[in-house]
Chains A and B, each alone.
Chain A
Amino acid sequence: MKSETEKGFDGLADGEYKYGFVTDIESDSLSPGLNEGVVREISRRKQEPEWLTEWRVKAYRHWTTLEQPTWAKVEFPPIDYQAVSYYSAPKQKIDAPKSLDEVDPELLETYEKLGIPLREQEALAGVVAVDAVFDSVSVATTFKGKLEEMGIVFCSFSEAVKEHPELVKKYLGSVVPYKDNYFATLNSAVFSDGSFCYIPKGVRCPMELSTYFRINAANTGQFERTLLIADEGATVSYLEGCTAPQRDENQLHAAVVELIAHKDAQIKYSTVQNWYPGDKDGKGGIYNFVTKRGHCRGDHSKISWTQVETGSAITWKYPSCILKGDHSVGEFYSVAVTNNLQQADTGTKMIHIGKNTSSTIISKGISAGRAQNSYRGMVKVVEGAENARNFSQCDSMLIGDRCGAHTFPYIDINNPTAQVEHEATTTKIGEEQIFYCNQRGLDTEEAVNLIVNGFCKEVFKELPMEFAVEAQKLLGISLEGSVG
């Protein structure tokens, strides 16, 4: 048995080691804690202009007056916001594995199943630097050149603040104001980095943005900020996230995504979210509190959200559309999978403001294990929104009998010409269905995949082709072992 002194000494030794580690990269990290000084320091280190510093500070001051919302159907212990470090530049991993041989075989098996190329596997596992991958493929630079020729700006948020401050200043917070909600306000104060994209008038972006950047995306911080603008007549398809499992020691993630579609512009925003969900007993896992909103600012504009959510211990996420322009269109296609002890409260808001606006909501929730999966959706039609149309379909699938699915539709109609349709179904997959499939020659894993993919196909068909294939595989992996 160790004496109390010895235990204390152990702790001290630990502390010393940590301290030594921190001093090495002192200039890159702030110690945990949040106050106005920290917010200013983040802005200073990022060499931001004064208006942005002040914007962050306003957000911080507002945040101190707010309380964490409790209305979502999720449960978690209180978050200690003072224990979080709000600034750390990309980590130089001292103990990074030297080859794939040193990487957790379980992780590699998952990469394998997803069909991720070896070179990308190495980067995801931290064996080689991300740059090395891009050098070897040498696509990143080629694409950047091509995009620049067309006038498309696609860069990190920090870079945009430096290179295109007028665009950032004009649009930042114009869809999600810093006062929007607890997590968005926190993000506004401390956001680390993220992506910025501007598509000029009349330009069709010739490629799926970020297809080649998925590894970069995997390394963005916990308070990510994305701003995407499609100017008049522009078209863009943007992919966020990564089907590969993402492990992160930061438990709290609070991102903000703002989309702006001007007249005749179209934005398609697709996400695959596969953050670490925690283990079978619910230990660990990411808390994902995201604010995503699109603004159809001009007439005949269109914004589509497609999301496949399989990861995170807690997902709190409602990608929404404000349909301001006449004849504007909002779409939301979602698959949310929860297994074991995962909790998801996700859905959308469609706010009809312009005339002849329409929106479509297709939500597929799948629960297995002891998971809880909630759809929360709002359709609002304001007084002047003549001839608004909405179609909502919310389907839930339960695998086994210990999980739950919940649907919370809110409908707020203030114009008699509105047409709103809502359909909801719940189906249950049990051992009898699986045995039926087995009896026709399908093994249990194939059976679950088949049933689940059949259930989700309306959403998958909205995803870009190669993403759809990966998403299907991902679903199978997420639900592995959930039956039989």
Chain B
Amino acid sequence: MGWLEGRFEESVITTSLEQAMNWARESSMWPMTFGLACCAIEMMAVGCSRFDIDRFGAGAFRATPRQADLMIVAGTVNFKMASRVRRLYNQMPDPKFVIAMGACTCGGGPYYKYGYNVVKGVDLVVPVDVYVPGCPPRPEALLEGLMRIQDKVRGMKDLTKEQPIDVPIPSRSGYVLLPPELSDPVKADAFAKKNKELATPAKG
């Protein structure tokens, strides 16, 4: 804060407008009410009192995309639904964030091989910010995903748009220690590349 610091009474807090906006934004992420399959049940559990997503300021599930900042794609996306998912995404105001919840939305999940009508990952339809794998993910995992989104918001540079996409792993302020292979972006990239190679389906 430079020269402003310490010039006022103790009860006055100085901050940059950017930080203040980001703080407000991250503490009032409004997700869209939007469940497609079994993962939605777990998302509802996250909204209930036991896990209580309201502790993170994201409990106000909106029934319209126009009031929502966060789209939690919870469940199997099939081709018939994909165009609707994209339309809902387009209707959300910027800045908007997407959590792909569950194995299905991360990459087809149990329907990868024989699901003739399942989109093999919702990232083929809308850009995804955070992937929460699991079938279904534990509620804690979704909360963690939400916290990653909040990290992303905290790092936002512009007041209006443009999320920082050059940081592959959002740097966290605490709470969770990243494993050594993910501790810096270069290592994380290598790790992701290796995983991708391991996961390539065998030919034939």
To the question of whether A and B form a pair in one complex, the answer is no
Q: Report A's interface with B, CB cutoff 8 A.
A: none
